[in-house]
Each structure stands twice: as C-alpha cells, then as structure tokens.
C-alpha cells in the first residue's frame, strides 16, 4: 500500500511538472502567466529576435519563423484582395459606420490569408497624421485636416480591424506615425518643432482616441524627431504621454530602421548599441525592418547594448512580453477551434459583397464641387469623349494592393452610357515630349463630341512616401490640356483624381461641372458613372481646405496651426472650404434647438436639427456642428467641428436629427494647468452643411471646469457604448452567407511563357518596380498579356515600327510578399513573338538583373 501511495505521489508530481512546463500552451491560463512562462523558456538571442520584423522560429518549442509586417491602409497589400477608396476618400464619406464595415471586410481578408498560411495579421495602419498641409507626400493616407473628424473615422477603422471578441484579436492595428510626420523629404533627418498646445489640441487627439477609447494594440513612432529628440528615442513622448498618461499597454514599433537612424541620421546616439538602448528605455519595442539577408539593426545592436551595460535583460524582457502578448491575443499558440476568426474562409477575398461595399464607399466619397446645371448627364447623350491621363487607368492611390477586378473611369462610363464613348489620353501625368501631340489628338476628339469628360489628377510620381508635392497645381501639362479642350468644346465635366487639395482656380471660373473622384478603390469607374448620370446623388464632403494658390499656404516646415493652417485658422477665401460638397437635391435646414441654454460641468448637450429635402431627388446630407469660444482668454479656433451626422432624406420629406456634444468639446488645452479646461462663458453653436455655411447659430452659456484625465480602461465623452458596431461579429456585413462555405476551384492554368524571380524588399515603399522585356518579333505585329499569380498586369502591343528586336519598358506591381519566389507568365494572344528575357530594375539604385524563360 505504501508503495502504491508513493507511486501516486510521484505520478501526480510528474503530471504537475508536465502541466507547469506547458503553461504557455494552456488556453485556460491567464495571458500574463502564459507570456511569463514562454519568456522563461527563451534564450537571450531568441528574445532579441522579436525586436525586428523578421522573427526566427524556435524549433525546440515548435514555434515557426514569423513576419511581423503587414499593410492594410485601404485594403490588404496583396494580390486578389479588395481595394477600397483611399483614406482621403473614405474621410469624405463622413460616415464612421461605413468605415467600420470597410475595416471589417479588410480584416476578414487579412484573417483569410492567415488561415491559409499566406500572411500574418500584424497591420501597420491606420495613418492618423494630420493633413495639416496638402503638399505632404502622404496626405492621401489621412482622413482629414480636422482632429475630430480624423478621430471619428480612425476609431471605427480600429474597431472593425480588431473585432469584438473578448478573447482574441482579429488583427493587430498599429496607429502611425507618432507623431507629426508631415514632411516626407529627408524625414529621417529632420525635426518637427511644435508647441505643447498644438500637440494636445491638434496632433495628439486621433492617437488618443484610438488608444484610450478603442484600445488599439500598437503604435508606430515616426522617422522624424520632435523638438530636438528622435521620436523613437523620445522618453516623454512614448513612456510619458503614451504609456503613463494614456495608459497604453500595447507594443510600439519604430518606423523603418528608425532606431538605427537615432545614430546614423539624427546623430543623437554615439553608437548602434546606444541607439538600441535609447529606444528600449524610451518604451519602443521593435524596429520595422524586413530583409532576407540580415536582421533589423536594432536586433543586431541589442546584445552588445546588454553586454555594455546600457540596458538590462530585465528591461528587454518587458519589451518582449508586450510583443509576445499580442501573439497570444491573435491566437497563434492556441487550437484554431477556439478562435472565431479561424473560420474566415478564402472565399471572402475580393468577394462580391466586398466589391459592392467598395462601390458603396466610392459613391459616398465623391464630392461635387461645381454644377452649373450640367449634371447629371443624360444616359443617351449623342456622343462622349473621355479624355485625360487618369481616364483609362484605375489609380487607387499609394499603399494599394492588386485586385483581380479594376474599373477605370473610362470603363465605368462605357459600361453605363447608351452612346458612343471615345477616348484620348490627352497628355501624360507629368511633362513629356509627346504632350503637344496628345493634346492635339484630344482637341480633335473634343471638337466632334457632344460631351467631354476630362479626368486629371496626380499620382505617386508627384506625391508619395519620400516625395512631397512641389505645388498644389495639376502636374505636367494637364492644365494646358484642360484649357485647350475647353476652348473648342465648352461642354466639359472635369473629374479630379487628386492626392489632396488641388489649385484649380481657373477651372472653377470656366468649367461648368467639376467632380472630385479621388483615388477611389477598384470600383471607382462604376461609382463615377453612377454619379455622372444621376443613378447616385453625390453626397461627399471635403475634409480639408482647398486653397486657390500655393502662396496661400504658410511655410511647409512650420507646424504651428495658428499661423493660418486649416479652416480653423485660415482667414483667406478658400477655393473650396472644409466640409463643402454639393448634390443634386436642395436641402434646407429649417431650425435648430439645444437641450440646454446653460451647460453644467460634465453634462452633455443635445443639438436637434430639422432638415428638409426640397429637391426632386432622394439624397443624403451631412449636418455639421461647429463651436466657437466667444470669450476665451487664449487663442482658439474661429470655429471647430464637434459633431456631424450623415442623414438620408427622401425628396419632399423632412427629418429631425439629434447630435450629442459632450462637455469636453468646449475645452482647450491650458499649458499652465497641463490639462484641458473649459473657460466659463458664452459659446456659439453653429450648424450647417460646410464650415462656411453655418447660418443657424445658437448661443450657450457653459460652466467652467477642468476635464478629468482618462487612460485605457476609461472612455471619453465621445465614446458611444450603445453603437451596434461594438457588438458586431465578423460575418455581420454579409446578407448572403452561403459563399462563406463554398468550395473554390483552385486549378490554375500553367500555360504561357514562365519567368521565375524573387523580389527583395528595397527598404521603403514603392507601388511598382521598373522592368524591360527584351523581345524578338517574328510577325508584323504581336500582342501579349503579362500576369502574376493569375492576375493580369497589362496587355502589350508591339509591331514592326518598334523594330524586329527591341525592349519594352513596363511596370511590375510589387509581389504579395517580398523574399518569396513568384512566377511571371506571358501569354501571347496575337502574332509570333519570342520573349528573350526580362530585365528587372529594382528601386533605390539597386543593381538590375535579368530573368529568363523556364524550360517546359
């Protein structure tokens, strides 16, 4: 009996040890215990490996290699994923609920890719840098120049991306770039100098909304410095504001090689180990750097930093715990059956429901800027000329993926109109030697057409990462094209596809109809046609001030908002004001009322608005509520947006709308008190449909007081607990769910001429790589289509005029993932052509190389 008892004791002890040894694998354990257990099993080198984007696996623990890198700005940067309107377009919908639906679709596709082993779900988005100056190269990534509108759109992006499950995250969001990265040229070497009042009132709010209200999981620090200190070494910015003041518990990643740049670009550290130690001590956990041949500079520098006593292993442990915690939260170490998001199938990728959602978003984003009774067009108009460098391409904006289906403005118009539709390129985006010839061709076409639709704009050649706009004017000879066409045919509708506000003062004076259509996702052509021909009543509103001239803007490097930036402080006459946008109906605000005439400290105000549609077409209007502090002792905005609501009103009908305004909306940041305060006195409540059309005004007395400071776990006055988006499930956006269980035909046609290559990360974002196809023509002419992963890149034509042997310059979209072999397939559809090789020309002056056809 004693032997049996001893055996049972030993067995229980053994079982207990086994269970204890597997704490990190036990989903019933607390997440803190699981994190601590896994950390205890990792070597120093394994922990350090987590501080870069390429994370080595731990074979003895059964943990595979991992890539902490993903882009989902307005769709997953991958092939066969739905591409929604660019952020500047999504902002113009003024529809946070729609933003939630779009983010839900994007994150569903991200999860689908993870579930089939193609990508992870660590996403570097949203971008909430304020659009303070339209010359910034990445201006189109932002929702607005206004901090409140920016916050409301960003919060619903985070909510849709992360999901609402109490145990698991659908994706990890990384809010970027903290803070004030609003100049891209040499951004890694410059500083943004900003006073504390502007930081708290203008540059911080969207970050705080995402972190405190929505509990976003990550932050990316900017490449630039703030007030003399690199953002990725900024103890006050990261540890002080983000972690201590706002209570942020998530991870912080430095933008591309920014930790290395603390020494090499900013000269703030004397060595790489010191730079890495500065980042860790400031609260930065990881460095964005993806390379197949080396680890992130921060990873290389951390062990020497520990050996030199610059940081301790315990400090590193705190960093790695934050990173590993998120892998537990995404379910990486659990049985997939426990995670509701593991059920998301591949069939959601670019599915019909997502394409319809992309169309809806594109339609709501389009802004009607001018209409001298020329829109909508008749479907059976005699003849239409579609002209311009953006007419026959579906420009979706920077940080776009590669969907199978893209509809250009030209295709959308051709699909809709019951008439002859002709096309001319008109000119190139930027100045080109052939522009005069192309303009002449466009003029000839315009002369013999009843209606002209001119589609112009700018793209990544003038505005993108590392490239700021030199001017707000249309680049190249596009203005010359517009004037030449208008001179021979006054029936012109101008369609803009811009990265931001564009100076078109002449066009506003002389063109009868102007539409801003944005880089509007893969369904942009259909959305534009629906608006042009009146199938959809335009309802988008501008989210930034459009200036008449470059000279209207302050110095590009001046971050002081009060020097005339944005609608809040600009005293000149704008070309188009913030919040502006026309429609085909006439909306009339009948009256407004407020729930209080005196607002006590901590109370909320309800603004009630009666609005009528006195036009002949159903439509949607965006009611905007602005506040002005009449008696402030400090400099405050001339007016500031504090509430808005998109409302549908049928023709001839009236609706009553209520918009809540919390007490904190009346506050400003008091530097002496280091807090937001409301000064007692009179405030104006102004209601209208743009920042300049606010004719309905109520005055309100407000009691003074300080705004209680909040951090993660508490909520702001704008947080709506009852919003149904907070209880939504991943499949709620689908009315017909049958496709979620459908089988997909995975058979692929391997015919054609195949070229294999591996694209390696160049170290910064680009949308395409240059290449040259070397060919030999064996017939008078030939046509071929180049594809990657069953997606068509482009169809090309060559003829004897190009010579029998030659080379063809092309653009190849970036692959789904750097560092993995992909196949380019050429299918010859006409004539006889021999493709000898393809010269791949990487960006950033990397040496070109050749790839050759595979033997079959």
pLDDT digits (tens, 9 = 90+) for 292-310: 889 999 999 999 999 999 9
The mean of the pLDDT values for the chain is 94
> Residue 92's closest CA among 137, 37, 153?
153
Q: 576 in a domain, yes or no?
A: no
Q: How far is CA 799 from CA 297, 423, 568, 807, 828, in A?
A: 49, 22, 57, 12, 13
Contacts of 17 (CB under 8 A, 6+ apart): none
Task: Categorize the per-residue pLDDT at 11 as very low, low, confident or very high, splitting at 50, 70 and 90.
Answer: very low
Report the CATH number at residue 813. 2.60.120.260
The pLDDT of 141-162, averaged and rounded, is 98
Choose, from 255, 300, 459, 629, the residue flagged as catalytic: 255
CA distance 400 to 486: 33
Number of H helices, E strands in the chain: 20, 35
Question: Tens digit of pLDDT for each residue in 481-494?
Answer: 999 999 999 999 99
Cα 416 off chain centre by: 30
Contact call for residues 446 and 452 (beta carbons, < 8 A): yes
- Helix (H/G/I), strand (E/B), else coil: 341: helix
CA distance 465 to 186: 10
Torsion, CA 621, CA 627, CA 630, CA 635, rounded to 10 = -120
- Helix (H/G/I), strand (E/B), else coil: 770: strand
Let me know how long the chain is: 856
Burial string for 197-231 (b: 16+ CB within 10 Å, else e) reads bbbbbbbbbbbbbbbbbbbbbbbbbbbbbbbebbb
Query: Which pLDDT value is given to residue 802?
Result: 59
Contact call for residues 130 and 147 (beta carbons, < 8 A): yes
Q: How far is CA 102 from CA 126, 405, 431, in A?
A: 13, 17, 36
Q: Is the pLDDT of residue 17 over 50?
A: no
Mark whether 679 and 596 lie in a shared domain. yes
* Final residue in a domain of this structure, among 685, 715, 745: 715
Q: 296 in a domain, yes or no?
A: no
CA distance 673 to 375: 54
Q: Is the pLDDT of residue 815 over 90?
A: no
Q: Is the pLDDT of residue 509 over 60?
A: yes
Mark whether 679 and 789 lie in a shared domain. no
Q: Is the pLDDT of residue 328 over 70?
A: yes
Locus of tokens 């490996």:
49
Task: Categorize the per-residue pLDDT at 283 as very low, low, confident or very high, splitting at 50, 70 and 90.
Answer: very high
3-state secondary structure 578-617: CCCCECCCCEEEEEEEECCCEECCCCCEEEEEEEEECCCC
The pLDDT of 332-355, averaged and rounded, is 97
Locus of tokens 């706002």:
246
The pLDDT of 174-190, averaged and rounded, is 97
754: its two tokens? 């195949």
Q: How far is CA 393 from CA 74, 359, 402, 482, 614, in A?
A: 18, 17, 13, 18, 38
Mark whether 669 and 770 lie in a shared domain. no
Contact call for residues 170 and 111 (beta carbons, < 8 A): yes
> Residue 88's closest CA among 582, 393, 463, 348?
463
Contacts of 327 (CB under 8 A, 6+ apart): 66, 333
CA distance 313 to 303: 9
CA distance 82 to 112: 12
| pLDDT more than 90, % of the chain | 84
Pairs from 372-376 (Cβ < 8 Å, separation ≥ 24): 372/512, 372/513, 373/512, 374/491, 374/493, 374/512, 374/513, 375/493, 375/513, 375/515, 375/532, 375/534, 375/584, 376/531, 376/532, 376/533, 376/534, 376/584
The pLDDT of 519-533, averaged and rounded, is 98
Locus of tokens 């776009």:
400
Contact call for residues 138 and 149 (beta carbons, < 8 A): no
Mark whether 696 and 776 lie in a shared domain. no
Report the CATH number at residue 660. 2.60.40.10
How many other CB atoms are found less than 10 A from the CB of residue 659?
A: 19
Q: 656 in a domain, yes or no?
A: yes
Mark whether 678 and 786 lie in a shared domain. no
Q: 758 in a domain, yes or no?
A: yes
pTM: 0.92
Task: Categorize the per-residue pLDDT at 743 as very low, low, confident or very high, splitting at 50, 70 and 90.
Answer: low
Beta strand spans in 203-333 (E): 218-221, 225-226, 229-230, 251-254, 286-287
Q: What is the DSSP letter of 198?
A: H
> Residue 79's closest CA among 386, 327, 372, 403?
403
* Cis status of the peptide bond prior to 179, with omega within 30 of 0: yes
Query: Which pLDDT value is given to residue 767?
Result: 79
Query: Which pLDDT value is given to residue 21?
Result: 60
Task: Categorize the per-residue pLDDT at 766 as very low, low, confident or very high, splitting at 50, 70 and 90.
Answer: confident
Question: To 5 degrees, how large is the angle CA 723–CA 728–CA 732?
Answer: 130
> Residue 441's closest CA among 371, 505, 506, 385?
385
Query: Which pLDDT value is given to residue 750?
Result: 53
* Cis status of the peptide bond prior to 126, with omega within 30 of 0: yes
Query: Which pLDDT value is given to residue 590?
Result: 94
Query: Which pLDDT value is given to residue 5?
Result: 47
The kind and range of the H/E element at 87 are: helix 87-92
CA distance 44 to 306: 10
Query: Which pLDDT value is given to residue 353?
Result: 97
Mark whether 677 and 765 lie in a shared domain. no
Mark whether 627 and 695 lie in a shared domain. yes
Contacts of 85 (CB under 8 A, 6+ apart): 74, 93, 358, 361, 362, 365, 518, 519, 520, 521, 524
Contact call for residues 147 and 405 (beta carbons, < 8 A): no
In 3-state terms the chain splits into helix, strand, coil percentages (rounded to 5) of 30, 25, 45
Q: Is the pLDDT of residue 795 over 80?
A: yes
Q: 800 in a domain, yes or no?
A: yes
How many other CB atoms are found less than 10 A from the CB of residue 645?
A: 18
Locus of tokens 């060595």:
271
Mark whether 711 and 592 lie in a shared domain. yes
Task: Categorize the per-residue pLDDT at 8 as very low, low, confident or very high, splitting at 50, 70 and 90.
Answer: very low
Q: Is 555 a catalytic residue?
A: no
Q: 230 in a domain, yes or no?
A: no
Q: Is the pLDDT of residue 626 over 50?
A: yes
Q: 776 in a domain, yes or no?
A: yes
Mark whether 691 and 774 lie in a shared domain. no
CA distance 86 to 522: 10
CA distance 800 to 778: 9
Mark whether 596 and 698 lie in a shared domain. yes
| pLDDT more than 70, % of the chain | 96
Written as one string, the DSSP assignment of 132-185 is --TTSTTGGG-S-SSHHHHHHHHHHHHHHHH-S-SS--SSEEEEEEETT----T
CA distance 51 to 45: 10
The pLDDT of 377-392, averaged and rounded, is 96
Question: Tens digit of pLDDT for each residue in 209-246?
Answer: 999 999 999 999 999 999 999 999 999 999 999 999 99
Query: Which pLDDT value is given to residue 455?
Result: 98
How many domains is the chain partitioned into structurally?
3
Q: 274 in a domain, yes or no?
A: no
Contacts of 276 (CB under 8 A, 6+ apart): 259, 297, 298, 301, 302, 305, 310, 311
The pLDDT of 107-114, averaged and rounded, is 98
Mark whether 682 and 757 lie in a shared domain. no
The pLDDT of 398-405, averaged and rounded, is 95
Question: Tens digit of pLDDT for each residue in 51-63?
Answer: 999 999 999 999 9
Mark whether 707 and 650 lie in a shared domain. yes
> What is the domain extent for residue 5?
1-41
* Final residue in a domain of this structure, among 693, 715, 737: 715
Residue spans of alpha helices (H) in 213-257: 235
Query: Which pLDDT value is given to residue 816?
Result: 67
> Residue 469's closest CA among 138, 144, 767?
138
- Helix (H/G/I), strand (E/B), else coil: 442: helix
């Amino acid at each position: 009996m004693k032997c049996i008892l001893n055996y049972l004791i030993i067995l229980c002890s053994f079982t207990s040890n086994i269970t204890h040894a597997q704490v990190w694998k036990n989903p019933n354990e607390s997440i803190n215990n699981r994190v601590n257990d896994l950390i205890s099993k990792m070597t120093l080198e394994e922990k350090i490996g987590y501080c870069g984007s390429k994370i080595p696996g731990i074979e003895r623990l059964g943990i595979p290699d991992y890539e902490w890198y993903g882009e989902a700005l307005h769709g997953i940067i991958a092939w066969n994923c739905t591409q929604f309107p660019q952020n500047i377009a999504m902002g113009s919908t003024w529809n946070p609920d729609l933003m939630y639906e779009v983010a839900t679709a994007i994150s569903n596709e991200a999860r689908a890719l993870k579930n089939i082993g193609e990508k992870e779900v660590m996403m570097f988005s949203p971008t909430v840098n304020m659009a303070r100056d339209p010359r910034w190269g990445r201006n189109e990534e932002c929702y607005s120049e206004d901090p409140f509108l920016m916050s409301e759109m960003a919060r619903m992006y985070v909510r849709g991306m992360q999901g609402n499950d109490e145990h698991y995250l659908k994706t990890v969001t990384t809010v970027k770039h903290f803070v004030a990265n609003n100049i891209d040229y040499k951004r890694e070497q410059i500083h943004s100098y900003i006073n504390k009042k502007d930081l708290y009132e203008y540059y911080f709010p969207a970050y705080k909304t995402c972190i405190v209200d929505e509990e976003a999981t990550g932050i990316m620090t900017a490449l630039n410095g703030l007030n003399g200190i690199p953002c990725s070494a900024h103890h006050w910015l990261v540890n002080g504001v983000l972690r201590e003041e706002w209570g942020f518990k998530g991870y912080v990643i430095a933008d591309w090689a920014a930790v290395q740049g603390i020494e090499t670009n900013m000269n703030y550290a004397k060595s790489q180990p010191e730079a890495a130690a500065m980042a860790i001590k400031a609260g930065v956990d990881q460095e964005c750097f993806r390379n197949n041949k080396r680890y992130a500079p921060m990873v290389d520098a951390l062990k020497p930093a520990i050996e030199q006593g610059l940081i301790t292993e315990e400090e590193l442990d705190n960093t790695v715990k934050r990173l590993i915690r998120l892998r537990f939260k995404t379910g990486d170490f659990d049985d997939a059956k426990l995670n509701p998001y593991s059920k998301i199938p591949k069939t959601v990728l670019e599915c019909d429901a997502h394409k319809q959602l992309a169309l809806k978003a594109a339609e709501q984003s389009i802004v009607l800027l001018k209409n001298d009774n020329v829109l909508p067009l008749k479907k059976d108009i005699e003849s239409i000329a579609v002209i311009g460098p953006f007419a026959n391409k579906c420009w979706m904006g920077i940080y776009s993926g590669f969907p199978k289906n893209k509809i250009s403005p030209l295709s959308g118009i051709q699909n809709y109109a019951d008439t002859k539709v002709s096309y001319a390129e008109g000119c190139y985006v930027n100045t080109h030697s052939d522009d005069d010839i192309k303009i002449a061709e466009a003029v000839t076409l315009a002369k013999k057409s009843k209606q002209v639709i001119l589609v112009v704009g700018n793209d990544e050649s003038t505005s993108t990462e590392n490239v700021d706009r030199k001017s707000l004017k249309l680049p190249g000879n596009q203005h010359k094209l517009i004037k030449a066409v208008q001179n021979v045919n006054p029936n012109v509708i101008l369609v803009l596809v811009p990265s931001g506000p564009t100076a078109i003062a002449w066009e506003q004076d002389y063109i009868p109809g102007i539409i801003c259509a944005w880089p509007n996702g893969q369904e942009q052509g259909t959305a534009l046609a629906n608006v042009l021909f009146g199938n959809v009543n335009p309802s988008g509103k501008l989210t930034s001030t459009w200036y008449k001239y470059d000279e209207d803007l302050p110095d590009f490097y001046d971050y002081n908002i009060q020097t005339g930036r944005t609608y809040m402080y600009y005293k000149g006459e704008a070309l188009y004001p913030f919040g502006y946008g026309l429609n085909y109906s006439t909306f009339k605000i009948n009256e407004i009322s407020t729930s209080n005439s005196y607002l006590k400290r901590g109370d909320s105000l309800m603004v009630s608005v009666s609005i009528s549609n006195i036009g002949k077409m159903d439509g949607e209007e965006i009611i905007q509520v602005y506040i002005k502090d009449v008696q402030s002792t400090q400099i405050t905005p001339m007016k500031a947006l504090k509430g808005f609501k998109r409302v549908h009103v049928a023709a001839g009908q009236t609706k009553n709308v209520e918009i809540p305004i919390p007490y904190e909306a009346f506050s400003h940041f008091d530097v002496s008190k280091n807090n937001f305060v409301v000064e007692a006195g009179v405030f104006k409540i102004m209601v209208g449909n743009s920042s300049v059309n606010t004719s309905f005004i109520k005055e309100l007395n407000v009691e003074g007081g300080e705004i209680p400071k909040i951090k993660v776990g508490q909520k702001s006055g704008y947080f709506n607990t009852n919003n149904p988006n907070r209880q939504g499930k991943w499949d709620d956006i689908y009315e017909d769910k049958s496709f979620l269980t459908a089988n997909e035909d995975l058979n692929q046609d391997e015919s054609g001429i195949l070229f294999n290559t591996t694209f390696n990360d160049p170290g910064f974002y680009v949308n395409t790589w240059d290449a040259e196809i070397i060919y030999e023509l064996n017939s008078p002419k030939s046509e071929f289509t180049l594809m990657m992963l069953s997606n068509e890149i482009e169809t090309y034509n060559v003829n004897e005029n190009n010579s029998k042997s030659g080379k063809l310059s092309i653009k190849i979209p970036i692959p789904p993932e750097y560092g993995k072999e992909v196949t380019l397939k050429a299918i010859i559809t006409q004539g006889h052509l021999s493709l000898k090789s393809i010269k791949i020309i990487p960006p950033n002056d990397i040496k070109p190389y050749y790839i050759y056809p595979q033997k079959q």
